[in-house]
Amino acid sequence: MTSERAQTAVLGVVLLVGVVAIASVGILMLAAETTEELEQQAENERIEQSFVELSQTMSTTSATGDTTEVVDFAAGEHGAVVMTETGHINISADGPADFEENISIGTIEYEADDGTRIAYQAGGVFRETGTETRVVTAPPIHYHDDTSTFSFPIVEVEEEAQINSGDVTISHADTETYRNLTRIEDSVVQINVTSDYCVGWENYFRGQTQAGAIQESCDENTDDQVVVELGLTDLKGAYEQGLYAVGETGVDLRCESAHQIIAGPVAIEGGVDNDAKECIDEDWRDDAIGIDPDETLPPLDRVIEKMNESVKDSEAKSFDGSDNLEGGNTYYADDGVTIDGQGANAIEANLDEGDITLVIDGDLNIDGELEIKEYEDSRSLDIYLTGNLTIDGTAATDDFEFEDPDGQHISIYGTSSMIVGGQGSEFEGTILAPRHEAALNESPNTAYSGNQEDDCEIEETGEYADVCIDGGNTEIGGAIIAGPTLINADQGNIALRWDEDLEDHDPKLPTDEIVLPPDLTYFNIVEHKVDVEN
């Protein structure tokens, strides 16, 4: 072996040893970093669990009153900070309830060396990293639309402090009740949370509510604020009745100079008396039910208002009652609509390309003919109406058979003050305008176009029916959900026939954007303050 080759071999060995040494150092450094990360993750998990136990103990202490509890709290080397007034929760209700409560909230916060933050706030525990905010323990907001109850016991810190690992004492300091109501009707409850942990609150609400409940997300403003509305997001089963009459008038259904003119299930507020039973076909009379005033369907006023505001500022097509309607389009009328074309001039609504949405700011008067064509599947003409409805003509599918109606292809939605009048009408569809009380009472029904003003007067009360239908040849196939109803037809003629397929048909409401007001029979907001200290 020459000396040059020997030197080359030695140099190669030295370089190899150097590479191995560098690689070994890299592996050791990587192992050290991985070990530190694992240790930090383990500590974060331990502290997170400690915050959960702290939250549970604070809740127990606030509920039991003058007790004092001690917990073994883990807060790492740096401890946790107790801060007051770091955000606020605003709870309000619109409509008749009309209240607003603004409650300041504080935070107990731990921050790890890796930037992870774990925090207690108003009963909830949140964990925030650089990439996400997670709800560890949900805030104690209890809303149940099936039981019509809402409660929110807000557990708050009384004073600022620094708490370290070890024994932490929790004692009840004060309780203040903000609202304790037994009834909220026609009002939507809104919760507005402003917090450094806004995303955590938003994630909680998104997991508990439907899309329409979130009115403002944290990303939509710069104030770390999320706005949520609590209410109903559907009206399943709304068409389970052929006639649904609500009004608190004492008499919500009457038929005059005729008997057995409703073929279908009937629901009446307060109960079905003998005079009302006489209006119902014998095959359906036993199915008639009374409605508990506390369980009536909610009004659609907010939905109609929302639809009107959004569509009038959109690129919707204009409609004045003289042109045909084409499927897949949205139409808007800003000053009511009268449809009076007949025969060759009848207005056609062609559903071959999809649903049609028609929003009318004002009244709808159908004197002529509105004909639905190409209505396969569940496609429909959906009319949202801010005013009143008069049907003296025809609104139906082009092959309407009263003995077997197909009532899902025309849907008319109205407010709680919408009144309905008609004589000699043909209507195949649904009218959905629920309410909690009568709209008219002693005021005449101006939607009814008959000659005699007292045609719509209910004799027993002297009050006027919100829905007044007259005429021997009246044929309505579908369902009417509205207020006190008076139907007058010739002896032996059925005037209203329920479409049984409607039992599984739900209203098409924009509840992905807005919620409906629930009827709450219990509503409670209370703030508990507790002292937290080593």
Q: In this structure, what are the phi and psi dihedrals at residue 97, rounded to the nearest 5 degrees?
A: -65, -50
**pLDDT of amino acid 203:** 93
- What secondary structure, in 3-state letters, does 355-390 show? CEEEEECCCEEECCEEEEECCCCCCCEEEEECCCEE
Where the chain has pLDDT below 50, the residues are: 1, 3-23, 25, 28-30
Is the separation of the CB atoms in 241 and 266 below 8 Å? Answer: yes
Strand-pair partners of 520: 184
> Which class for 449: exposed (0-12), middle (13-18), buried (19 or more C-beta within 10 A)?
middle
pLDDT at residue 452, as a whole number? 67
- What digits encode the pLDDT tens for the residues 422-456? 988 899 999 999 998 899 988 999 999 876 667 88
Query: What count of residues does the chain have?
Result: 534
Q: What is the pLDDT of residues 235-258, one digit of tens each?
A: 888 999 999 999 876 678 888 765
pLDDT at residue 23 in the model: 46
Specify the DSSP class assigned to residue 299. P
Question: Can you list the positions of beta strands (E) in 378-534?
Answer: 381-385, 389-391, 394-397, 410-414, 420-423, 426-432, 457-458, 463-464, 467-470, 475-482, 485-488, 496-498, 522-533
> Residue 30 class from Cβ within 10 Å (0-12 exposed, 13-18 middle, 19+ buried)?
exposed
Tokens of 72: 């073994």
pLDDT value of residue 491:
59
* Cα(198)–Cα(200) distance, integer angstroms: 5
Element (H, E) at 225: strand 225-230
Contact 517, 150 (CB under 8 A): no
Q: According to the model, what pLDDT value does residue 31 have? A: 53
Give burial (CB, 10 Å; 0-12/13-18/19+) of 275: middle
pTM for the full model? 0.82
The domain limits of the chain are 70-233+519-533, 243-504
Q: Which two tokens stand for residue 283?
A: 């095959």
